[in-house]
Structure 1
Amino acid sequence: MATRPPADPANVPAADETARPLRADARRNRDRLIEAAAAAFAEHGVDTSLEEIARRSGVGIGTLYRHFPTREHLVEVVYRREVEGLCAAAAELLRSHPSDVALELWMLRFVDYIATKRGLAKSLRILLTANAGLFADTSGMVMQAVQRLVEAGVADGAIRPDIESTDLIHALSGIYSTPETPEWRERSRRLVGLLMAGLRWGAQQAPAGAGRPR
């Protein structure tokens, strides 16, 4: 099994900060590694072997280390990718669905995000010590995405007007604290359904065309 000596993430620049522009094939390899790592961490936790991630990606372990010199670098890139994808989905869903449906679909995606975050928990604690700004940045991004979805739903009369984005964040955070059992995902999806039922209850549907422009 190929191994590398441990490195202090506080003393090694993040891969994205030092990388030169990548050739198209190198970019594809890097993207495949990130995809495979996200899936592996969500399924088996952050201790998944890097050799297994490389195998899933169809590249050699040397290629993985060229892109991500330490496990912590890979964890940080996966975490950023998950947060950015989650937040970008808010605008995408609002463009293609009614506001309440967009909110529900986004919350279901949030469940998948939580699964990856739970898998990364051990290394994220290390990263928190080395790079506290990472979490301040990403938390703000998630809050903005939720606020956009909630404001759209209230403006359209699709969800109750007394809800605030912070209320919803607190409710969703409760999903993270539920025990990780084989039926965890299914239970979490049911909880999202309950949240949406509560959000829709008491909503006053706005007249057609009265929604907030998006």
Structure 2
Amino acid sequence: MSELRSSIPLTCERPTRADAARNYDLLVRAAREAFTEHGASTSLEEIARRAGVGIGTLYRRFPTRTALLEAVYVEEIQSVCDQAYDFARDLPPYDALSAWLHAIARYANSKATLATELMDAIGKESEFFKACKVNMLDAAGLLFGNAEKAGVIRPNLQAMDVLRLTGSIHDTDPDQADRMIDIIVAGLRP
């Protein structure tokens, strides 16, 4: 997990002291929940209250709303990337790729507002988003490579094309999103 965090330039780095790391984790978890429930404009005071810390603690860890958005986004992207490696280890190549694309669609569907607000704050072409993209492409490369090697997907597919298509499924009913991913995955077959 630290691999992704170290490769993405964050406004605020994860602390190493135990109490500071605990507060960091509490704040990121509370922010993720609040952003999911009420959108990315949730008040920072509400997030601090949910985390059980004072507003001063929040501002020491995350001096700006953007810093907190980045931390939540990195945690989410890390989770999606970790799933790719878990699926590659635990499932046959086609099933691993399918499961991961479904996970990306669920992520995109639930976090579209967060990503949009963060892009508005720091820009789509920022070093932060470039590093996130590299990590996603590394994870995709593993799954696409395994599936291509096993002959279960068409050769020479561009992972980025499939990721963009998959990530574009947001603001959609979860059942419909799953059906749409099933169509995409079926189209990858040779």
For the superposition of Structure 1 and Structure 2, which TM-score range results when normalised by the shorter chain? 0.7 to 0.9
The answer (yes or no) to whether the contact 1:51–1:61 under 8 Å persists in 2 is: yes
Identity among equivalent positions (%) equals 37
Q: Which residue of 2 aligns with 1:209?
A: none
Q: Which residue of 2 aligns with 1:198?
A: 187
The answer (yes or no) to whether the contact 1:45–1:120 under 8 Å persists in 2 is: no
The answer (yes or no) to whether the contact 2:104–2:167 under 8 Å persists in 1 is: no
Q: Which residue of 2 aligns with 1:14?
A: 11
1:76 offset after TM fit, Å? 1.4
1:127 offset after TM fit, Å? 1.3
1:38 offset after TM fit, Å? 2.0
Point out where structure 1 has 5 or more consecutive residues left out of the alignment. 1-12, 203-214
CA distance in 2, matches of 1:39, 1:190: 26
Q: Of 112, 128, 135, which residue of structure 1 is paired with 2:129?
A: 135
Structure 1 SS opposite 2:130:
helix
Query: Amino acid of the residue matched to residue 41 of structure 2?
Result: D
User: Which stretches of structure 1, 4 residues or more, deviate above 6 A after TM superposition?
Assistant: none
1:149 offset after TM fit, Å? 0.9
Q: Which residue of 2 aligns with 1:116?
A: 111
1:74 offset after TM fit, Å? 0.4
CA distance in 2, matches of 1:70, 1:166: 31
Is the aligned partner of 1:187 residue 2:187?
no
Query: Amino acid of the residue matched to residue 185 of structure 2?
Result: M
Number of equivalences: 180
The answer (yes or no) to whether the contact 2:105–2:167 under 8 Å persists in 1 is: no
Q: Which residue of 2 aligns with 1:89?
A: 83
1:162 offset after TM fit, Å? 5.0
Query: Amino acid of the residue matched to residue 187 of structure 1?
Result: Q
Is the aligned partner of 1:53 residue 2:47?
yes
The answer (yes or no) to whether the contact 1:46–1:119 under 8 Å persists in 2 is: yes
Query: Amino acid of the residue matched to residue 15 of structure 1?
Result: C
Range that drifts further, 157-166 or 191-200? 157-166
The two structures, once aligned, show a CA RMSD in angstroms of: 2.4
The answer (yes or no) to whether the contact 1:128–1:134 under 8 Å persists in 2 is: no
Point out where structure 2 has 5 or more consecutive residues left out of the alignment. 1-9
Structure 2-normalised TM-score?
0.81
Question: Which has the larger Rg?
Answer: 1
CA distance in 2, matches of 1:86, 1:193: 18
> Which has the higher relative contact order, 1 or 2, with Cα contacts under 8 A spaced 6 or more apart?
2
Is the aligned partner of 1:146 residue 2:140?
yes
Structure 1-normalised TM-score?
0.73
The answer (yes or no) to whether the contact 1:99–1:149 under 8 Å persists in 2 is: yes
Q: Of 8, 19, 22, which residue of structure 2 is paired with 1:25?
A: 19
- Compare the two structures and name the one with the higher helix fraction: 2
Query: Amino acid of the residue matched to residue 99 of structure 1?
Result: P
